[in-house]
Structure 1
Amino acid sequence: MNEKILKFTKKYKELWKFIKFTFTGASTSVLEMVVFALLQYVVFKSLNEVPVTDNAILSFLGIEYKGYMWSYFISAIVGYTASYIMNRKLTFKSDANIVLSTILYVIMVVFTVAFNTWFGSYLGTLIKNSGHDNFIMVMLTKLIVMTVPTIWTYPLQRFVIHRRSKKTNEISI
């Protein structure tokens, strides 16, 4: 069995990296969803009814409730931090300059967290205002919001952030 897996990973290196990236994403998504649920239904429960009225930009973006906003923001930070560590060490086995990789990752994450916070809060507001505000709908929305950024996070992490030197690529799987 191990021989078949080794043969597969050598023959389909790029597919194997994407499989590991997907597994890492699923693992860190579970962590992110647990943190989100804890924040949404325990820590910030009292803020789920508190409107964001003191910020014109947030109101313009459709972010209406503080509880949803903070829950999405904090859970995304936790998930992306775990993802960075796992992808750097396990998925891509990166030997790129850690300072540069971290800076590039932070830039990507700032954009992604801003998108997730806006998109998640926007959808959360739609769910709340439509009367479908229940645990299943909110968690399904969170899952959708977390999945969309894969469109840009995989290529950025694979080819920009967690590169491997050409010398290292020649001798590794």
Structure 2
Amino acid sequence: MKAKAKQFIEKHGEIWKFIKFSFTGASTSVLELGIFMILQYVVFKSLNEAPVTNSPILAFLGIEYNGYLYSYAISATIGYAAAYIMNRKLTFKADANPVLSTIIYVIMVAGTIAFNTWFGAFLGTVIKNNGWDNAIVEMITKVIVMTVPTIWTYPLNRFVIHRKKKPQDEINNQAFQNEIGIA
């Protein structure tokens, strides 16, 4: 079993990175989803029917309720912060300039959170206005909203944000194999 895992990692390094990225994403998504549910059903429960007022931009974007807006924005921020740390340290073992990487990540995440907040709040408005607002539908919607950004977050994390100063993928794969006991 160890030999097969080691052989797979050596032969399919990029796939292995995507698997680790996906595992990190799933882990931080559980955190993000838990925070979302607490915010949505406890902290901002009274705001789920409170309309966003005095914002023609939010109205234009189809965001009508404060509770959804706040719940999506806060939970996404916390989830992405945790993902940054885990991906930098565990998934890609990046050694690029941490300040530059953080700045680029913050820019990517700001766009992603803006998208997630709009998309989630828009779908929340559709759900609310059609009478479908319940925990199951809202949780499924949140998972969909969290999954869509993988289209751009993996390539940006892998090739721009968490890059290596020098090509050491083989050394890092060996170190990881030693850490998990398959070397």
Q: TM-score range by the shorter chain?
A: over 0.9
Asked if the contact 2:92/2:162 (under 8 Å) is kept, the reply is yes
Higher relative contact order (CA 8 A, sep 6+): 2
Tell me the residue number matched to 2:55: 55
Tell me the residue number matched to 1:43: 43
What TM-score comes out, normalization by structure 2 length? 0.92
Kindly provide the amino acid, as one letter, of the partner of residue 10 in structure 1: E
Number of aligned residue pairs:
173
| Cα distance change on mapping 1:169 and 1:83 into 2, 3 Å | same
Listed one character per residue, the Cα deviations across residues 104-158 of structure 1 (whole Å, up to 9, x for unaligned) are 0000000000000000000000000011111100000000000000000000000
Kindly provide the amino acid, as one letter, of the partner of residue 74 in structure 2: I
Kindly provide the amino acid, as one letter, of the partner of residue 68 in structure 1: Y
Listed one character per residue, the Cα deviations across residues 76-121 of structure 1 (whole Å, up to 9, x for unaligned) are 0010001000000010010010000000000000000000000000
Q: What's the CA shift for 1:172?
A: 2.9
Matched residue SS, 1:131: coil
Tell me the residue number matched to 2:181: none
Matched residue SS, 2:168: helix
Unaligned runs of 5+ in 2: 174-183
| Residue 78 in structure 1 maps to residue 78 in structure 2 | yes
Kindly provide the amino acid, as one letter, of the partner of residue 43 in structure 1: V
Listed one character per residue, the Cα deviations across residues 43-98 of structure 1 (whole Å, up to 9, x for unaligned) are 00000010001211111111100000000000000100010000000100100100
Q: What's the CA shift for 1:170?
A: 5.5
Distance 1:167 1:25 in 2: 24
Aligned counterparts, 1:122-161, within 5 A = 122-161=122-161
Tell me the residue number matched to 2:13: 13
What is the identity percentage for the equivalent residue pairs of Structure 1 and Structure 2? 69
What TM-score comes out, normalization by structure 1 length? 0.97
Q: Which runs of 4+ in 1 moved over 6 A?
A: none
Distance 2:93 2:83 in 1: 13
Matched residue SS, 1:7: helix
Query: What value does the CA root-mean-square deviation take over the aligned residues?
Result: 0.9
Q: What's the CA shift for 1:2?
A: 2.1
Tell me the residue number matched to 2:93: 93
Tell me the residue number matched to 1:25: 25
Distance 2:3 2:64 in 1: 54
Distance 2:22 2:105 in 1: 17
Q: What's the CA shift for 1:3?
A: 2.2
